[in-house]
């Protein structure tokens, strides 16, 4: 492997020698598995913290729609006359 750097080559020789010391009948994720898992856990924690900050910045109140306000103001007047008319019909 001519494209490997010297430090990567040195690290691989140490990992290979460490792997030979471990019992070959026992399979474990080892140090590399722990480091990968820990890095992923830290990344998820950082993403959740960032998402929490961004969600706290969101303003959930919606600006009122002027057309909807006009429609709501017009509806109670017509609704009041309809219910009062129905009430008079029931009494009479």
Per-residue pLDDT reduced to its tens digit, 70-86: 777 777 655 555 555 55
Distances (CA, A) of 79 to 22, 65, 75, 86, 92: 82, 21, 6, 11, 20
Could you tell me if 45 and 52 are in contact, meaning their C-beta atoms sit under 8 angstroms apart?
no
The pTM score is: 0.40
Q: Which has more pLDDT, 69 or 14? A: 69
CA angle 55, 59, 65 (to 5 degrees): 145
Least Cα distance to 11 among 29, 31, 38 occurs for 31
């Amino acid at each position: 492997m001519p494209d490997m750097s010297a430090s990567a080559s040195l690290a691989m020789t140490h990992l290979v020698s460490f792997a030979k010391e471990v019992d070959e009948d026992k399979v474990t994720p080892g140090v590399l598995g722990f480091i990968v898992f820990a890095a992923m856990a830290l990344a998820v924690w950082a993403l959740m913290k960032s998402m929490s900050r961004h969600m706290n910045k969101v303003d959930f109140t919606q600006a009122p729609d002027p057309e909807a306000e006009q429609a709501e103001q017009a509806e109670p007047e017509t609704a009041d006359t309809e219910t009062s008319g129905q009430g008079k019909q029931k009494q009479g």
